[in-house]
Amino acid sequence: MTDEIVGIDLGTTNSEIAIYRNGRPEVLADERGRIILPSVVALSETGELLVGEEARNQYLLYPERTIRSIKRRMGTNDQVRLGDRDYTPQEISAMILSRLKEIARQALGRPVQKAVITVPAYFSDAQRQATREAGEIAGLEVVRIINEPTAAALVYEAAQHQGKRILVYDLGGGTFDVSVVRIEGGVVEVISSHGNNHLGGDDFDHKIVEHVLDHLKLKHGVDIADQPRAMARVTRSAETAKKQLSDHPFARIQEEYLTEQDGKPVNLDLELARHDYEEMIAPFIEETLGAIHIALESANLTASQVDEILLVGGATRTPMIRRRLVEVFGKERRGEVDPDLCVALGAAIQGAAMAGTEVSAVLVDVTPYTFGTSALGELNDELYPYCFIPIIPRNTPIPVRRSEVFFTVKDAQTEVDVKIFQGENPDAMENIQLGEFRVTGLSKAPSGNQVIIDLALDRDGILQVSAREKATGLERRITIDKALSRYDKGQLDEARERIGALFDEQAPADSVAASDSALDALLAKASNKLDEVSAEDRSEIIDLIETIRDARSGDNDAALEEARSQLQDLLFYLET
């Protein structure tokens, strides 16, 4: 099927890839049956690229060679170091997408080339463009970028038999969105959206980590903030505790031999009550409720007029969130679809529709930001040349075309500068400038000559802008396509080649390489066991892995062989 289009949820914490077949969407599993891919990238000691579970496990041992939560940096000019190279957020995301592509190829028996990729509804143009570039670097044709809450609503639409107004509450690892959606007659229409691109489950983890650090200082007088490996272990324990507190009133955070103090081991053993945890995260939850009220106000609705609530994202399993939503809306949420998977499933439905497959839902999305220009006006009771003039307001259904008339301010003015901005600030210079151009050759008319600015935004976020003198028809236009792109075509080709090379399989050149490969496999197997064993066994595994690493780097063959043998015996014992 040359037009087969997969759906991808490229998440902060986890990612998934799905396809629509046999009349329904399904998430594809890797060779070990896992359908959720941790959004983590790492390099092994030998320079092998690790993506997913193996990379996440390595974080405990080599945090300096592991990258997590890269989604929070999308749309920035940041560089992150992996091994001896610096990479952009797009390139790191492309590594995750490349692994998802391989999972799909293995599951389907054929390569995939086209994808619908989801982004938070409140992602800016720069963040959306960075996501598209990540797909292109991974060798995917990104046929559409759609909002995560919208994708989730597509999945739930199949069960709808009458018109409803639905609130989609999407709290993932790094971002938060809330969307008000109308579903009726097979049409999923987004009415309004609001959110925060830097609020999510990661922030919940950080609160627990801060609590642990305070405990260590108080009880043991130690500060591990500058010890990367100890911090990695605490962070991982915090994530585990957060998940346990979703189902249990208490969680125990334990790490043996976390660090040393005066030559003696410092062991972490701390109980965290759900009540205390909820106090830590309460400000975050209240911020999301504030965003809900903004979205409802934009949709001209009250909480009582919302028919159903859909929860999206793993962080929505937090009991406090569900309790507070019941208090606000007076009703329970719908929960027949896994909140971790519904976004990828919805993206697969949209991909099938774009490939020509008949599906039950039609998507009508909105622009999450306002687009406009600047002009002379009053700001804070003073004349200001860069007042922001909205032309396409946020939450406008797309595609859309809007125009506004402007006037020259001088007699015989023959040219005007047109600047296009994205944002909500009344000061245009505080918003994001997307593009600019100059219209020359205007007639030498008195001031007040009319110039019409026209903006047309399509479903893919491509903005067509034109400026036309009404009296003469003189016109100038530009297309803002990838206006904030960090790559030109040559740079994209170079990045694609560089990332692709990391995935090339290298056969061992000799017996030494083969031995190294076997040792790497043993270390990977041991790392994968860390989540499944007791705290005592986990500590022993970590000690043996570090002993192997030290012996390997120091060419101490005897110590290496002894530690290897002990690790093999321990793994054998744990598996029997």
Residues comprising the chain, all counted: 576
Q: Domain boundaries in the chain?
A: 1-159+336-360, 161-334, 371-473, 511-575
Instruction: Please give the pLDDT value at position 360.
Output: 63
Catalytic residue among 16, 54, 71, 205: 71
- Tell me the backbone φ, ψ of residue 468, rounded to 5 degrees: -135, 130
The two three-digit tokens of residue 77, written as one number:
């000019």
Burial 255-273 (b: 16+ CB within 10 A, else e): bbebbeeeeeebebebebe
* Ordered DSSP codes for 344-380: HHHHHHHHHHHTT---S-EEEEE-SS-EEEEEEEEET
Spatial distance between the Cα atoms of 346 and 206, rounded to a whole number of angstroms: 30
Which residue has 């015996």 as its token pair? 569
User: E strand or H helix at 439, and its extent?
Assistant: strand 432-440
Catalytic residue among 30, 54, 148, 340: 148
Instruction: Please give the pLDDT value at position 508.
Output: 39
Do 82 and 125 contact (CB within 8 A), yes or no?
Answer: no
Which residue has 């070990």 as its token pair? 32
Which residue has 């199949």 as its token pair? 158
Homologous superfamily in CATH for domain 1-159+336-360: ATPase, nucleotide binding domain (3.30.420.40)
- Tell me the backbone φ, ψ of residue 36, rounded to 5 degrees: -110, 125
Which residue has 């809450």 as its token pair? 149
SS3 455: strand
Do 318 and 176 contact (CB within 8 A), yes or no?
Answer: no
Catalytic residue among 170, 239, 308, 340: 170
- Tell me the backbone φ, ψ of residue 435, rounded to 5 degrees: 180, 170
Do 333 and 310 contact (CB within 8 A), yes or no?
Answer: yes
- Beta bridge mates, 254: 269
Q: CB under 8 Å to 165, separation ≥6 — which residues?
A: 180, 181, 182, 191, 299, 301, 305, 306, 307, 308
For residue 156, CA distances in Å to 297, 309, 342, 445 come to 24, 11, 8, 58
User: 10 Å Cβ neighbour count for 330?
Assistant: 10
SS3 382: strand
- Tell me the backbone φ, ψ of residue 426, rounded to 5 degrees: -65, -20
Look up 9 and say whether it is catalytic.
Answer: yes
Spatial distance between the Cα atoms of 360 and 365, rounded to a whole number of angstroms: 16
Do 287 and 294 contact (CB within 8 A), yes or no?
Answer: no
Spatial distance between the Cα atoms of 333 and 310, rounded to a whole number of angstroms: 6
Look up 170 and say whether it is catalytic.
Answer: yes
Spatial distance between the Cα atoms of 419 and 159, rounded to a whole number of angstroms: 45
Spatial distance between the Cα atoms of 332 and 327, rounded to a whole number of angstroms: 9
Q: CB under 8 Å to 511, separation ≥6 — which residues?
A: none
Instruction: Please give the pLDDT value at position 483.
Output: 43
- Tell me the backbone φ, ψ of residue 458, rounded to 5 degrees: -95, 180
User: E strand or H helix at 543, and its extent?
Assistant: helix 535-553
Q: What sign for the dihedral angle of Cα 435, 115, 13, 98?
A: negative
Amino acid at 427: D
End-to-end Cα separation, the chain, in angstroms = 45
SS3 550: helix
SS3 74: coil
Do 316 and 171 contact (CB within 8 A), yes or no?
Answer: yes
Amino acid at 384: Y
Look up 226 and say whether it is catalytic.
Answer: no
Give CA 558 to chain center in angstroms: 45
Tell me the angle at which helices 148-157 and 342-354 cross, rounded to the nearest 10 degrees: 80
Spatial distance between the Cα atoms of 284 and 196, rounded to a whole number of angstroms: 11
Amino acid at 386: Y
Q: What's domain 371-473's architecture?
A: Sandwich (2.60)
For residue 562, CA distances in Å to 259, 272, 530, 566, 570 come to 24, 39, 21, 6, 12
Would the CATH topology of 1-159+336-360 be identical to that of 161-334?
Answer: yes
Spatial distance between the Cα atoms of 277 and 492, rounded to a whole number of angstroms: 44
Rama region for 201: left / alpha / beta (φ>0; ψ in -120 to 50; rest): alpha
For residue 90, CA distances in Å to 55, 75, 77, 460 come to 18, 8, 10, 19
The two three-digit tokens of residue 430, written as one number:
């505080």
Look up 264 and say whether it is catalytic.
Answer: no
SS3 44: coil
Instruction: Please give the pLDDT value at position 97.
Output: 96
Assigned CATH for 161-334:
3.30.420.40
In tens digits, what is the pLDDT along the chain, a chain of 576 residues?
Answer: 447 899 999 999 999 999 998 888 999 999 888 999 999 999 887 788 999 988 988 888 888 889 999 999 998 889 999 888 899 999 999 999 999 999 999 999 999 999 999 998 878 778 888 999 999 999 999 998 988 888 888 887 645 556 789 999 999 888 899 999 888 777 778 888 888 888 999 999 999 999 999 999 999 999 999 998 899 999 999 999 999 998 899 999 998 889 888 888 899 999 999 999 999 999 999 999 999 999 999 999 999 999 989 898 889 989 999 999 999 998 887 766 788 899 999 999 999 988 888 776 666 677 778 899 988 888 888 888 889 999 998 878 788 889 888 888 888 888 888 888 988 899 999 998 888 888 888 888 888 888 899 998 877 667 888 888 888 888 887 766 544 455 666 777 788 887 877 776 433 333 344 456 557 767 777 877 787 778 778 888 888 888 888 887 777 777 887 888 788 778 766 765
Instruction: Please give the pLDDT value at position 495.
Output: 83
- Tell me the backbone φ, ψ of residue 352, rounded to 5 degrees: -65, -40
